[in-house]
């Protein structure tokens, strides 16, 4: 069966997610398991429109948000997701934790685990940090972004947003444009979208294209993705245009990868002019935070073509689905 074929809305059997005790990367999920999360997220998205948004699903459970890197959307939406399911949510940041006193990540995590949480959601600058915790802790571990490696819930919320707008993922042409070298969002999306049957064009200057990117997911990404340095080529006939921020915080001390933001914007920025290369009904996505006027022109970011705030709202629904699948009674 072709990647992603057959998994339309509401048909993925829930047992397809059952083998997963943690969510550390899209790399571990198959199309059926991804379909389970997206179908459940559809149900939770409907609840966001209700006057009372709370369910008893995770009553008595505890979710700890352990964020060692800055976050607005991801941390807040995990907290809201936990609270909407009636779990107790605890937020920990490095400046207020013993990490500031020299405690290792593993020691911090083991101490938190000893308090009996059901889920630890972790964001860390080190690729592989959530995998290390998943191998060590008793509770479930969710990766909320590990360095330049993966950001699985972002890819899932992006897929949910695309499904809502395009009816499905299979057969979509998706352009991912920007700082591919430092983007965990690009890597998780590349894996997720190709597993679901989309074709992905990856676009950046050569200096921001990591070698072997299209090999990341083996045969599936090799045959369903390609790289290009020409924006027009990436956008030509695309159904979805996903723009990425230049992640300056990951390049401090390195030689610059491009001349300056103005030059980057002129060559790789999405404007009303360059968006015309994509399909007339193409949607514009961005994981946030946006650098307005660099990768994305403000008039495009604020236009009806952009679904950026919808992505944020799907973030809550998708994270509710993930928490329920990992900590709900069916997961026990």
Please identify, using beta-carbon distances, which residue of 123 and 166 lies nearer to ligand NCD: 123
* Shortest Å distance, C-beta 64 to ligand NCD: 18
Residue 73 lies near ligand NCD (rule: CB under 6 A): yes
Helix (H) / strand (E) containing 2: none
* Shortest Å distance, C-beta 265 to ligand NCD: 16
Paired with 242 in beta bridges are 176, 285
Q: Which of residues 228-267 bind ligand NCD (CB under 6 A)?
A: 245, 247
Asked if 192 contacts 217 with a C-beta cutoff of 8 angstroms, the reply is no
Residue 184 lies near ligand NCD (rule: CB under 6 A): yes
End-to-end alpha carbon distance in the chain: 31
Residue 93 CB neighbour total at 10 angstroms? 17
With 0-12 / 13-18 / 19 or more C-beta atoms within 10 angstroms meaning exposed / middle / buried, residue 258 is middle
* Whether residue 73 lies in the annotated active site: yes
Please identify, using beta-carbon distances, which residue of 196 and 246 lies nearer to ligand NCD: 246
* Shortest Å distance, C-beta 325 to ligand NCD: 20
Q: Which one, of 161, 88, 149, 79, lies nearest residue 118 by Cα?
A: 88
* Shortest Å distance, C-beta 177 to ligand NCD: 13
Marked catalytic residue, from 20, 61, 84, 123: 123
Residue 151 lies near ligand NCD (rule: CB under 6 A): yes
Residue from 185, 200, 216, 317 that binds ligand NCD (CB under 6 A)?
185
* Shortest Å distance, C-beta 16 to ligand NCD: 26
146-150 contacts: CB < 8 A, separation 24 or more?
146/24, 146/122, 146/184, 147/184, 148/181, 148/182, 148/183, 148/184, 148/187, 148/250, 149/25, 149/184, 149/187, 150/24, 150/25, 150/26, 150/27, 150/184, 150/187, 150/188, 150/191
Q: Which of residues 270-309 bind ligand NCD (CB under 6 A)?
A: 287-288
* Shortest Å distance, C-beta 145 to ligand NCD: 5
Nearest residue to ligand NCD, using CB? 245
* Whether residue 182 lies in the annotated active site: no
Please identify, using beta-carbon distances, which residue of 61 and 151 lies nearer to ligand NCD: 151
Residue from 35, 117, 145, 197 that binds ligand NCD (CB under 6 A)?
145
- For residues 122 and 109, what is the distance between their CA atoms, to the nearest angstrom? 9
Residue 166 lies near ligand NCD (rule: CB under 6 A): no
Please identify, using beta-carbon distances, which residue of 4 and 287 lies nearer to ligand NCD: 287
Q: Pairing mode, if any, of strands 140-146 and 119-124?
A: parallel
- For residues 53 and 81, what is the distance between their CA atoms, to the nearest angstrom? 10
Marked catalytic residue, from 57, 74, 108, 194: 74
Tokens 């629904």, residue located: 317
Asked if 235 contacts 275 with a C-beta cutoff of 8 angstroms, the reply is yes
Q: Pairing mode, if any, of strands 140-146 and 62-67?
A: unpaired
Tell me which DSSP letter residue 27 carries.
G
Please identify, using beta-carbon distances, which residue of 3 and 297 lies nearer to ligand NCD: 297
* Whether residue 101 lies in the annotated active site: yes
Token pair for 205: 């200057």
Marked catalytic residue, from 22, 124, 131, 151: 151
# residues near ligand NCD by CB under 6 A: 11
* Shortest Å distance, C-beta 288 to ligand NCD: 5
Please identify, using beta-carbon distances, which residue of 154 and 274 lies nearer to ligand NCD: 154
Helix (H) / strand (E) containing 194: helix 184-195
Please identify, using beta-carbon distances, which residue of 229 and 247 lies nearer to ligand NCD: 247
- Catalytic residue set: 73-74, 101, 123, 151
For ligand NCD, the binding residues (CB under 6 A) are: 73-74, 145, 151, 154, 184-185, 245, 247, 287-288
């Amino acid at each position: 069966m072709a990647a992603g074929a057959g998994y339309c809305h509401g048909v993925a059997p829930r047992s397809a997610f059952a083998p997963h005790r943690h969510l550390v990367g899209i790399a571990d999920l198959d199309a059926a398991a991804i379909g389970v999360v997206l179908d459940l997220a559809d149900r939770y998205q409907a609840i966001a429109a209700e006057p009372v948004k709370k369910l008893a699903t995770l009553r008595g459970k505890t979710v700890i948000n352990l964020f060692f890197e800055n976050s607005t959307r991801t941390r807040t939406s995990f907290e809201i997701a936990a609270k909407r399911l009636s779990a107790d949510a605890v937020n920990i940041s490095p400046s207020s934790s013993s990490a500031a006193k020299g405690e290792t990540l593993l020691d911090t995590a083991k101490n938190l685990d000893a308090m009996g949480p059901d889920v630890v959601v972790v964001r860390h600058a080190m690729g592989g940090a959530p995998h290390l915790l998943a191998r060590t802790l008793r509770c479930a571990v969710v990766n909320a972004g590990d360095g330049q490696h993966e950001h699985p819930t972002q890819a899932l919320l992006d897929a949910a947003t695309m499904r809502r707008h395009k009816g499905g993922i299979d057969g979509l042409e998706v352009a991912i444009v920007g700082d591919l070298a430092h983007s965990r969002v690009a890597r998780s999306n590349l894996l997720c979208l190709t597993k679901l049957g989309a074709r992905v064009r990856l676009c950046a200057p050569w200096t921001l294209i990591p070698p072997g990117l299209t090999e990341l997911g083996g045969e599936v990404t090799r045959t369903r993705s390609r790289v290009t340095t020409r924006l027009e080529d990436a956008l030509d006939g695309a159904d979805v245009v996903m723009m990425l921020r230049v992640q300056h915080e990951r390049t401090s001390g390195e030689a610059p990868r491009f001349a300056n933001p103005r030059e980057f914007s002129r060559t790789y920025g999405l404007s009303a002019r360059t968006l015309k290369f994509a399909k007339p009904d193409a949607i514009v996505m961005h994981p946030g935070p946006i650098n307005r006027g660099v990768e994305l022109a403000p008039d495009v970011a604020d236009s009806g073509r952009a679904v950026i705030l919808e992505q944020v709202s799907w973030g809550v629904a998708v994270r509710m689905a993930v928490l329920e699948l990992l900590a709900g009674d069916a997961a026990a």
